[in-house]
Amino acid sequence: MIKIFDDYDLSGRNTMAMAVKCKRFIEYDQKEDIPQVFKDLGQREPWLHIGGGSNLLFTCDYEGTVLHSRIPGIEVIEDTPETVTLRIGAGETLDEVIEWACEQGWGGLENLSLIPGEMGAAAVQNVGAYGTEAKDVIVHVQAYDTHERTFVTIPVADCGYGYRQSRFKHDKGRFIIHDVDIRLSKNFTPNLKYPGLRDLHSATCPMDIRNAVIALRDSKLPRPEQVPSAGSFFMNPQITPEQFAQLQANYPAIPHYPTANGLMKVPAAWLIDQCRLKGVEVGGAKVWSKQPLVITNPDRRATPDDILALEKKIVEAVKARFNITLHPEVEHV
């Protein structure tokens, strides 16, 4: 079913709690609705498809149509002695899927526990935490191709996945994801790559890891339903080995992680922390004290301009001190 709302208040649709509106809001709950939605949208009107709104910053009212999928469903599409493959509706809440998978004892998603948002958006964004990324479990993305006006199955190898990157982000608006196929393991092997999880060798099931991840996240990150935020506001910068060598000469303690593409990843949280910006406020916007990569709206009174001004302050401080330009992870609309 397709539901259409005019002059729609988006404050409950973005975890940053920005009080903005859109001209039209369209919600649908089955893949068969998608061609109809696009037929009705017409050619000229701007549109934006959202998920749980947990990685978005609305900078002003949206003069177009915001689309949202409520497509439900968790279906087993393949079952072998070692693995199970699930087809998950784009509108399913990621963490509910993770909790359910852990209850079955199926491994692969547990390190992503408590990441806010919905399944479709997780596949767009290639969400990641604690040593796992969505691409590690995705096998196919099922989508509607708005150019060819047909349904397509995209194998994970063709999704262009990288660190918070995908083909769906680059070729924006082309594919509308309606289901995501993921493969989970029945033979539990914990992923303990992340330093804070290394001591968990006694974990016997995915639920043990899920519980540890939840405790770790709660010690650092605000839950968006309690303190509005959009999670990490910036991506961790990846710099050249030469740039890194210079930086390390001045700051021997700088944490760093080599990446597969020969670059060095340095934590934006550390750079911001060194600039002494924890807890800094602009209007109603505040840098989270326990994890300065997160910009929060603690009293729900921050305007988009407050957030943008605080973002600018952070970017300028890090640039001045380290000559590194931070780029937002949060999508600005």
Kindly name the residue from 164, 167, 174, 321 that is annotated as catalytic: 164
Q: Is position 62 an interface residue for ligand EPU (rule: CB under 6 A)? A: no
**Binding mask of the shown chain, residues 78 to 117, with x at each position contacting ligand EPU by CB under 6 A:** ----------------------------------------
Distances, alpha carbon 195 to alpha carbons 141, 191, 192, 213, 287, in Å: 31, 11, 8, 12, 24
Buried b (16+ CB within 10 A) or exposed e, 291-308: bbbbbbbbeeebbbebbb
Pairing status of strand 331-332 against strand 56-57: parallel
Quote the CA–CA distance of 44 and 74 in Å, as a whole number: 35
Give whichever of 108 and 144 is closer to ligand EPU, judged by the CB atom.
108
Select the residue interacting with ligand EPU from 293, 295, 314, 317 (CB under 6 A): 293
Quote the CA–CA distance of 264 and 77 in Å, as a whole number: 39
Residue 11 annotated to the active site: no
Q: Is position 273 an interface residue for ligand EPU (rule: CB under 6 A)? A: yes
Give whichever of 160 and 267 is closer to ligand EPU, judged by the CB atom.
267
Q: Is position 329 an interface residue for ligand EPU (rule: CB under 6 A)? A: yes
61 alpha carbon, distance to own chain's centre: 22
Distances, alpha carbon 299 to alpha carbons 16, 155, 228, 285, 296, in Å: 11, 43, 8, 9, 9
- Terminal alpha carbon distance of the chain: 27
Q: Is position 267 an interface residue for ligand EPU (rule: CB under 6 A)? A: yes
**Binding mask of the shown chain, residues 219 to 258, with x at each position contacting ligand EPU by CB under 6 A:** -xx---------xx--xx------------------x---
Minimum CB–partner distance for residue 65 and ligand EPU (Å): 26
64 near 47, Cβ under 8 Å? yes
Q: Which stretch binds ligand EPU (CB under 6 A): 31-39, 44-52, 201-209, 287-295?
A: 287-295
Q: Which stretch binds ligand EPU (CB under 6 A): 24-32, 98-106, 290-298, 319-327?
A: 290-298
Q: List Cβ neighbours of 99 (8 Å cut-off, separation of 6 or more).
A: 113, 210
Give whichever of 129 and 159 is closer to ligand EPU, judged by the CB atom.
129
Q: Is position 328 an interface residue for ligand EPU (rule: CB under 6 A)? A: no
Structural Rg of the chain based on CA atoms: 20
Q: List Cβ neighbours of 252 (8 Å cut-off, separation of 6 or more).
A: none
Minimum CB–partner distance for residue 181 and ligand EPU (Å): 23
Give whichever of 29 and 273 is closer to ligand EPU, judged by the CB atom.
273
Residue 95 CB neighbours (<10 A): 19
Give the dihedral sign, CA 138/140/144/149: positive
Minimum CB–partner distance for residue 285 and ligand EPU (Å): 17
Give whichever of 26 and 239 is closer to ligand EPU, judged by the CB atom.
239
Phi, psi of 56 (to 5 degrees): -125, 145
Residue the block writes with tokens 């990446």: 259
Residue 164 annotated to the active site: yes
Quote the CA–CA distance of 267 and 237 in Å, as a whole number: 7
Give whichever of 188 and 194 is closer to ligand EPU, judged by the CB atom.
194
Residue 185 annotated to the active site: no
Task: Give me the residues that bind ligand EPU (CB under 6 A), please.
Answer: 129-130, 194, 220-221, 231-232, 235-236, 255, 267, 269-270, 273, 291-293, 329
Report the catalytic residues: 164, 232, 329
